[in-house]
Copies of this chain bind each other. A is one copy, B any other.
Amino acid sequence: MAALSFATRARSGAARTGRLVTPHGVLDTPAFFPVGTYGAVRGLTPEELRQVGVQGVLANTYHLHLRPGEETVRKLGGLHGFMGWDGPMLTDSGGYQLYSLDLSERSEEGVRFRSPIDGSERFLSPETAIGIQEALGADLIVQLDEFEPIADRVDEARVRQMLERTLRWGERCQRAKQRSDQWLFGIVQGGGSEKLRRESAARTRALGFDAFAIGGLGVGESPERRWDLLDAALEPLPDEAPHYLMGLGTPDDLVAAVARGVDLFDCVIPTRHGRHGWVFTDRGPLNLRNARFREDVSPIEEDCPCPVCTRFSRAYLRHLIVTEEALGARLSSLHNLAFYMRLLARARDAITGGAFDGWSREWRAQYAA
């Protein structure tokens, strides 16, 4: 009997809603994973995440490999036991942090880097990326891939090299994988070229992964290009497997991507924006630092049922953010996660009702107003 499964339950245009079953519970898709870099979602407890409807959490392989180390996490019961989160979990491969921080020396073999913590030499290869993720024990794991930001305007020959290497590394990850209770995501790359995106998707599909991620978006391309590139990447992928858009995005990014058939998301935006005093509402984001909230006794969002909006005023939250009192970052992040969860719940309902297009047009008009 398979420990993991995915089934679509309803469609509305290209949008779909389904259930991703994991050894640690079920995700209703489209689903959003908040980012728990060090095995905690920035100041929040597992209990609070549950309370606002979070179903799954992403943790960063790179950071946890450095501290406390995957063997320590394994001994402490894997990520689930370590952080006290009993729901579905996802880990990334660790490559993204290395490329974005430019800490690494890449070769066909893998990525060599020095730990910024203690200067020790480390090596991340397709095989070690899988080994680390197996020790961490998330339900969903991803292959090691290679890419560079589209904004850097790398030439097509270089994009093709990275695409080919990502495919070879994908195969090595498949061979290295030992646990049967984790699903491995292949990653579609292809930079800013629709042709290469399509080719990458078709050839990644041919490798027969459990599920598929689209990487290298949201790192420099224009919003218009983004959706064409996403469409090109999604089109060749198997309909019956989950589609995961890595690292995106804003609330309107989520709605736009769901419309195209994306099932899974992760992003730092709700928590990072929250820390800086940006909070989301159906009428667009608010910057709590704005002086107009100084004596505003209303909640962030009038009809929001979250534990922040039912207890605290904009004026108090503004004060906490302005004075850099830790409770401000915590409460703003919690509201933002509640907002993301409610947004996707409404998207799922609209899909189930066969009315996603109308709902999303209405929601987007209100959000942009």
CB-defined interface of A301-313 with B at 8 Å, one 1/0 digit per residue? 0000000000111
| Complex contacts, A295 vs chain B, CB 8 Å | 72, 75-76
Which chain B positions have C-beta within 8 A of A63? Answer: 323
Which residue of chain B is the closest to A296 with respect to CB atoms? B76
Q: Does A206 contact B (CB under 8 A)?
A: no
Q: Identify which of residues 276-298 in chain A touch chain B, using a CB-to-CB cut-off of 8 Å.
A: 294-295, 297
Interface check A106, CB cutoff 8 A: no
Q: Are A319 and B84 in contact (CB-based, < 8 A)?
A: no
Assess the A84–B311 pair: CB atoms within 8 A. yes
Known: A43-B330, A294-B72. A320 touches B38 (CB 8 A): yes
State A218–B249 Cα separation when bound (angstroms): 51
Does A363 sit at the interface, judged by CB under 8 A?
A: no
List the B side residues contacting A38 at CB < 8 Å: 319-320, 323, 325
Task: Indicate if the CB atoms of A67 and B323 lie closer than 8 Å.
Answer: yes
The residues of B that contact A46 with a CB separation of less than 8 Å are 311
Q: Does A367 contact B (CB under 8 A)?
A: no
Q: Taking the complex as formed, is A44 at the interface, i.e. its CB lies under 8 A from any CB of chain B? A: yes
Copies of the chain in the assembly:
2
In the assembled complex, A42 has its CB within 8 A of some CB on chain B: yes
Q: Does chain B have a CB within 8 A of A326?
A: yes
Residues of B within 8 A of A313 (CB): 76, 82
Contact indicator per residue, chain A 19-40, by CB within 8 Å of chain B (1) or not (0): 0000000000000000001111
Q: A38-B325, A75-B295 are in contact. Are A67 and B319 (CB under 8 A)?
A: yes
Task: Check B40 against A327 for contact (C-beta < 8 Å).
Answer: yes
1/0 per residue A76-96: CB within 8 Å of B?
110000111000000000000
CA distance A38 to B317 in the complex (A): 11
Which chain B residues lie closer than 8 Å to A83 at the CB level? 316
Pull 18 A–B residue pairs with CB atoms less than 8 Å apart, ordered by A.
A39-B320, A40-B325, A40-B327, A42-B326, A43-B43, A43-B325, A43-B330, A44-B327, A63-B323, A68-B315, A72-B295, A75-B295, A76-B297, A76-B316, A82-B316, A326-B326, A326-B329, A330-B330
Knowing that A72-B294, A72-B315, A75-B295 are A-B contacts, what are 6 other residue pairs whose CB atoms are under 8 Å apart, sorted by A's residue number? A42-B325, A47-B311, A67-B319, A82-B315, A83-B316, A326-B330
Interface set of A (CB-CB < 8 Å, partner B)? 37-40, 42-47, 63, 67-68, 72, 75-77, 82-84, 294-295, 297, 311-313, 315-316, 319-320, 322-323, 325-331
